[in-house]
Amino acid sequence: MSDGPAAQSPWQTVTIRRIEKRTPRVTSFFFKLSRPFAHQAGQHVDVRLTAPDGYQARRSYSIASGPEAGEMIELAIERLDDGEVSPFFHDIAAVGDEVELRGPLGGHFVWYDGDGGPLLLVGGGSGVVPLMAMIRHRAARRSAVPVALVFSARVWDEVIFRDELIGLNDRRDGFDLVLTLTREAARRPADYSRRVDAAMIEQSMVRLPAPPRFAFVCGSNAFVSAAAQALIDAGVPAGLIRTERYGV
């Protein structure tokens, strides 16, 4: 609306085509773009809602789908009880609804398989979303880049994309999933049940054939602060670590 012709990523109307519950608090929304764009794994979009009185609310959401997913993009939206946009998606939005979206945005927290690896990914809760786009990108490209994902969730049922991640892990093609549950016992033999720490990062890096070339850390601010410090304590050079912090 306020965007002139020069804007690189103007607002566009997108349509919800599919809704899929991922965990009790996270639901994926698949949007058909009216103006398809090519995004990089790790980028985000802004979503804008408009009330009849003209009031607008906008939030940034990471794209969960890989760049190869075509004209549909997936956003995995966590319900925040005191929010104003996520409750709309969880309680009201239905297939066929239209919202406005702008993107793709962000040029730092991104990875392309041509960038190489190994890759160390560390996600907390919904912070796994942009990392998932990287993992899906790798799978779609049949890339041989070694990737280790350390994914922290409170409980087993809050492990977003759990079946898909375990399926990719079981291919044994260089993608390694390390789950850590902070409020429940570990379910898989090599998993953990504690917060991410330096020892866990060191042990996870052993699964990579060489030290990571890039490290991406995403989650709440508290999670990212602690996890980034764990990486540094485990010997990952600070200059390799890229972070993305969600909300408050």
Partner 1 sequence: MVTRGFSSGRKPPTDADARIPPGQYLEQGFPVLSAGPTPRVRTEEWSFTLKHGPRPVKKWSWTEFNALPLTKMTRDIHCVTAWTKFDTAWQGVLVDDILADAGIEPLSPFTLALSFDGYTTNVPTKDLTAGKAMVALLYEGKPITPDHGGPARLLVPHLYFWKSAKWLNGLQFTERDEPGFWELRGYHIYGDPWREQRYTGDP
Which residues of the shown chain bind partner 1 in the complex (CB under 8 A)?
2-4, 6-9, 13, 48-53, 55-60, 84, 88, 92-93, 97-100, 105-109, 221, 225, 228-229, 231-232, 238-239, 241-243, 245, 247-248
Residue 181 CB, shortest distance to partner 1, in Å, is 24
**Measured from the CB atom, is 2 or 172 closer to partner 1?**
2
How far CA 159 is from CA of 51, 58, 90, 112, 124, in Å, comes to 33, 26, 18, 25, 10
C-beta of residue 112 within 8 angstroms of C-beta of residue 137: yes
Residue 109 CB, shortest distance to partner 1, in Å, is 8
DSSP string, 216-238: EEEEEHHHHHHHHHHHHHTT--G
Q: Which of 107, 140, 98, 92 is nearest to 40 (CA)?
A: 107
Residue 206 CB, shortest distance to partner 1, in Å, is 22
Q: Which of 67, 28, 31, 77 is nearest to 246 (CA)?
A: 77
Residue 244 CB, shortest distance to partner 1, in Å, is 8
**Measured from the CB atom, is 101 or 181 closer to partner 1?**
101
**Measured from the CB atom, is 56 or 183 closer to partner 1?**
56
Can you read off the two tokens belonging to residue 125?
Answer: 């809760």
**Measured from the CB atom, is 211 or 221 closer to partner 1?**
221
